[in-house]
Chains A and B, each alone.
Chain A
Amino acid sequence: MANDVRTVDRKPTGPTPVKDEKRTGLGDYLLFALTLVLPPRYTPERVRYDRRYRTLDKYRFISWFLLVPLIIYAILVISPFFQAFYYSLTDWSGFSSDFNMVGLDNYSRMLEDDDFWASIRNSLLLLVVAPVITLGLGLFFAFMLQAGGRRKKSDAISGVTGAKFYKVVYFFPQVLSVAIIGVVWGAMFDPITGPINELLRTFGLGSLTQSWLANPDIAMFCVLFVMCWMFVGFYVVLFSAAMGSVPKDIYEAALLDGASRPTTFFRVTLPLIWDTVQTGWIYMGIQALDGFAVVHIMTINAGGPGNSTLVTPVYLYKKAFDVGQAGYATAVGVVLLIITMIFSGIMMLLSRRERIEF
């Protein structure tokens, strides 16, 4: 069977299996653990003469050096996660130190909470659509900046004229704080004095003017647009850097074979920067799942009209701070965390490909 071949294949490369070792008891493990925290000179005899001592010594060496950062990491990053789980099981109001355990009540309440489901739907929509658009545009622009220009004699590929300038311009929104972006775009969408409607009127397209954020059918697209606008520059720069590291001779070879630009892009560029795209995808997905500031600052009633732009982080915020249900809000946060982790997991699985070395 094919499987057998593989096992045979793998054997020599894998770690040597410990076979004839006598079984290690619990006491031994405790002793090993103890050794890890003791200074080397107090290493118990039994451990010192164990054949695994070398490995243990190595890890002891590393972990002692990492101790301080590890403790800081545990306090500031890991423990809040566990606290969140704990608080999600309480009816904590967020205003005092008294609360009761309520078990999984918060979670079962969530199942019947229409607003919560509306927020999940909106967040998932953003999660799927925002990365597709942003990364797509980012790739397109980056490719244009890198290889979209007229061919010069000296170079196999070159960007469009003024590529460096565009790169700076694209990156501009990234420099602004999210809050400012929310305020600025809120003013852009202003139905009476906003530049967008103004522009439409100037070109005689007055019939297309909209009360952008007040129309439940359009509001979500406005949010989507702003999110893509603010993040696309970052991905242009990211992908440009990745494309820049692809050796020019590969392009040259493709050109000699008569490949057109689209072919070059799909057959050469994209496969070679796939790792970066994958990272970008996860990163953008997480940003799309957040979307707090834009929605909270820009939209009507922070998430409206109705629930049409309500995203989960905004809903969480409202529950925690507007109505003093911090326990319930924490449960919503835990669900959001789980969704984010599932998303990352799926993306890692889907985009697992063989890495191309170059």
Chain B
Amino acid sequence: MGNTSDVNRRDVMKRAAALGLVAVPGMTALSSCASGGDDGNENKVEKGKKTKDNPLAVNKKAGLEVVIFNGGYGDQYAKDAEKIYAESYGKVKHAKTQKIRTKMQPRMVKGSPPDVINNSGAENMDIASLIDDKQVTDLGPLLDAPSLFDPSKTVRETLRPGTVEKGQFGSEKVYQLNYSYTVYGLWYSKSALEKLDVEYPKTWDEMLDVCAKAKKQGIEAWTYAGKHPYYLAFTMFAFIGKIGGADRLKAIDNLEPDAWEHDAVKQAFEAYAELQKKGYILKGSSGLDHIQSQTQWTKGNALFIPNGSWVENEAKQTTPDDFEMTVAPNPSLDSSDKMPFETVWAEASEPFMVPAKAKNVEGGLEFLRIMMGKESTKNFTELVSALTCVDGAADGLDLGPGLGSAKKVVEAAGDNILSPRHKDWYLQLHNEKVGGALASLMSGDIGPSEAMKRCQKATDEVRKDDAIKKYKR
């Protein structure tokens, strides 16, 4: 070979790059891996024989694969349900993860998903997009199958109101089963209020009085998860609904052009802004995350916190024994409210789905049927202190103070339960835009009218954005 110095480094790099580029077109055939899935259904198992005990016709020889989100509820409750499944239908492969999206999305795209996914947590897969892409099984057969909770009814008939609707996305078909039941509201410590010698306020004026009284004792009454400001919506949405009627929330869900310009919204925003103006909000709340704010609250540095019924379990470690955690609806604004004080936002949560391309779809449905049976619902409530979506499943169980109060709140509300769909239909709009506006409102950066404007503007933008699928209710 010639003298090496006449091929300098730069030349070699240039040529190498050129060669690399040439090689690329040849690769494309191989490298469509990100999207080149197997769309065929050849790998589905055969249906089993339909009998009275096996109404969904599960193939007893086919295995089942279940993936559980390992969050606040853990995965023991699912393991127990899997044992029941395994007794009649064969082996279950169990997996748990905190990163549902990272683990499951590639399998969805490849067309080889597990049979049941507990699509939950901060890292869940956007269910609306999945449904759009026909990746999710319609749970109709399951809902019409006989229930294991009350054999005289179908599964559909045993569910709490709102559960079926929560699984619907723009059609009659139900794609998600939300297993747990969450009550959102204003959480407080009964013993702390007793120490202050006050009752839980039923109107906003009373609320301001309680705050003033607390302030005299050096306590700023409210705190909230400022880093995740959509926590504020848990009480704010119910408040808006209470003042202006359930239609106000419907308008917000339907992205109507004047949804956020209504008087009910204005009054609710102004009421919350007053808390800020009068200094009734724990200083620094705007920079706390959910755990930090809950800890401030259980330590007694604040009286009220907007939260969901998972808080009892989540804050267990910092909660003093005599705390008497209780939930209540957001106070009424005044007597002209359209809905009574008891009105509350409660809904089924903790979504489960059966992927359309799962091998053993029937098995997946049957597993969910077992989960909603007597044994599993009882086990779930006892293990993780949360209600299930099965109506009456928690009756006669020994519930903690927080969960007990949540159950009472739901019972007291009766038909006055609000279930806005804003959060699961338009996640980004809800969490970031509306949440962001609420955050600025509560930290005093903007006033109520500016907050309304921001929410409306974000709503208008989403309505005009063709890339986002719209829903109506």
Q: Do A and B come from one complex?
A: yes
Residues of the B chain whose Cβ atoms lie less than 8 Å from the Cβ of A164: none
User: What is the interface of chain B, defined by CB distance below 8 A to chain A?
Assistant: 1-2, 7, 12, 15-16, 19-21, 23-24, 27-28, 30-32, 34-37, 39, 101, 105, 108-109, 111, 123, 125-126, 128-130, 132-135, 226-229, 282-289, 292, 296, 301, 427-428, 431-432, 435-436, 439-440, 443, 445, 461, 467-468
A-B contact pairs, 25 of them (CB 8 A): A66-B19, A70-B23, A75-B27, A83-B31, A83-B32, A83-B34, A87-B34, A93-B129, A96-B37, A96-B133, A97-B35, A97-B37, A190-B284, A191-B285, A192-B288, A193-B292, A211-B226, A214-B226, A214-B284, A300-B229, A301-B431, A301-B436, A306-B436, A321-B105, A323-B427
Q: How far is the CB of A75 from chain B (nearest CB, A)?
A: 6
Question: In the complex the two chains form, is A109's CB within 8 Å of B440's CB?
Answer: no
Question: In the complex the two chains form, is B109's CB within 8 Å of A300's CB?
Answer: no
Please provide the chain A residues from 40 to 92 with a CB less than 8 Å away from any CB of chain B in the complex.
54, 58-59, 61-63, 66, 70-71, 73-75, 78-79, 82-83, 87, 91-92
Question: In the complex the two chains form, is B24's CB within 8 Å of A82's CB?
Answer: yes
Question: In the complex the two chains form, is A305's CB within 8 Å of B20's CB?
Answer: no
State in angstroms the CA–CA spacing of A86 and B102 once bound together. Answer: 23
Number of A-B residue pairs with CB-CB distance less than 8 Å in the complex they form:
164
Residues of the A chain whose Cβ atoms lie less than 8 Å from the Cβ of B468: 323
State in angstroms the CA–CA spacing of A192 and B301 once bound together. Answer: 11
Q: How far is the CB of B7 from chain A (nearest CB, A)?
A: 7
Residues of the A chain whose Cβ atoms lie less than 8 Å from the Cβ of B436: 301, 304-306
Residues of the B chain whose Cβ atoms lie less than 8 Å from the Cβ of A328: 467
Q: Knowing A59-B15, A211-B443, A301-B436, say if A95 contacts B125 (CB, 8 Å).
A: yes
Interface size on A, residues (CB 8 A): 54
Task: Kindly state whether residue A136 has any CB partner on chain B within 8 Å.
Answer: no
Question: In the complex the two chains form, is B20's CB within 8 Å of A73's CB?
Answer: yes
Please provide the chain A residues from 102 to 121 with a CB less than 8 Å away from any CB of chain B in the complex.
109, 114
State in angstroms the CA–CA spacing of A96 and B427 once bound together. Answer: 20
CB < 8 Å neighbour of B286 from A73, A91, A211: A211
Question: In the complex the two chains form, is B288's CB within 8 Å of A191's CB?
Answer: yes
Question: In the complex the two chains form, is A109's CB within 8 Å of B467's CB?
Answer: yes
State in angstroms the CA–CA spacing of A112 and B83 once bound together. Answer: 54
Question: In the complex the two chains form, is A95's CB within 8 Å of B130's CB?
Answer: yes
Question: In the complex the two chains form, is B287's CB within 8 Å of A213's CB?
Answer: yes
* Smallest CB gap from B429: residue in A: A323
Residues of the B chain whose Cβ atoms lie less than 8 Å from the Cβ of A213: 227, 287
State in angstroms the CA–CA spacing of A300 and B431 once bound together. Answer: 11
Q: How far is the CB of A87 from chain B (nearest CB, A)?
A: 8
State in angstroms the CA–CA spacing of A215 and B285 once bound together. Answer: 12
Question: In the complex the two chains form, is A70's CB within 8 Å of B133's CB?
Answer: no
Please name 9 further chain A to chain B contacts, defined as beta carbons within 8 Å, in addition to the given A63-B15, A323-B126, sorted by A numbering.
Answer: A87-B35, A94-B105, A97-B36, A190-B292, A192-B301, A211-B283, A213-B227, A301-B432, A322-B126
State in angstroms the CA–CA spacing of A186 and B467 once bound together. Answer: 34
Question: In the complex the two chains form, is A323's CB within 8 Å of B428's CB?
Answer: yes
Residues of the B chain whose Cβ atoms lie less than 8 Å from the Cβ of A159: none
* Smallest CB gap from B282: residue in A: A192
State in angstroms the CA–CA spacing of A318 and B30 once bound together. Answer: 29
Task: Kindly state whether residue A280 has any CB partner on chain B within 8 Å.
Answer: no
Task: Kindly state whether residue A172 has any CB partner on chain B within 8 Å.
Answer: no
State in angstroms the CA–CA spacing of A321 and B99 once bound together. Answer: 12
Task: Kindly state whether residue A148 has any CB partner on chain B within 8 Å.
Answer: no
State in angstroms the CA–CA spacing of A313 and B165 once bound together. Answer: 35
* Smallest CB gap from B23: residue in A: A74
State in angstroms the CA–CA spacing of A214 and B32 once bound together. Answer: 43
